[in-house]
Structure 1
């Protein structure tokens, strides 16, 4: 092993050690809550009707920030579409039979996991962004394995409907309660699947939007690579 590799490993070990020591001694995990954190702990379940505080903060209390996040992803997708070609391409070559059978097995499983994550996003860790990435990964594997492209017009339509629905629900909250993404629907019972008012609906729309946009990005990148 060269000297520079040894020095690099020494630096990494020292850096990790310093960070771990600092986190252990300087960061008061679980001790005194700030005023805002205490408010979330005391009131989130009562005000939103869901046990997942992170989801409540992202979709309800911090709704404008979530709007900014989906807007950034939309702009990134538009950038890729604007730079790379839209034309259809023929299949490059037929995939190996093992790969073809493998994708037939894992494709529905990945989709099922993604759907589960988005539907239970208000109850368990996960949500629209995570589920969208999982669902998009299924379509990515499908395209890469079969060396083909999907109907991007369908994904673009889905993305448009989901994005418009998200914005309309947010604006409806302004009229209903004076705040963007105000939870104006019945909250239901805590821990029930059908609970949380608008939060599960918003997460489903975000999941559709994210999965469609990521699939479009990968498909356009594959087309651009095929022309090189």
Structure 2
């Protein structure tokens, strides 16, 4: 309990809320890495997942590929890419984002294709019988109904990226992981705990926001059916 009290006191100290190593700066850096990663991963994985879910093609390959991506060692891959790209501050961002995107793709891809696949085939057939094109069926029928599962995939990806973005500090970038990486060599365990607490609080805050968004994206007709 003393360690936690010391960490809370450290966080509450106004001196730690200013400057380049202040909590707002490190938090902004951490959110920046997370936001950029999730944006790139969504563009890649959700687009592919929607195609797989709608057409049924490449599903087996995608399952195998996402399983392989999950098995990759994050720190090992980051170290390899950092050596390949160089350890300069600007170049270091590239391997970091690549590693985090690789981490984010599996839940996003699974959420997208499973969401589309979960749509009742009778609903899709009814849309086709009304003369809708495949593109209209995807955007006007399947995506709205699949949106809660798609958001669920985003939620899972965001939490994984927030927790793992601490490794950015390993190759001289910023973020909340800076507190942990800088404090370990000098055995400043209070600061290590501060970094862990801040990452946890950030993850919980984002989790709460995404849970609310996920609930709000459930179509009104589906909510009415569930409550009936």
TM-score normalised according to structure 1 size: 0.33
Q: Which entry has the higher C-alpha Rg, 1 or 2?
A: 1
Tell me the TM-score normalized by structure 2. Answer: 0.33
Flag the structure with higher helix content. Answer: 2
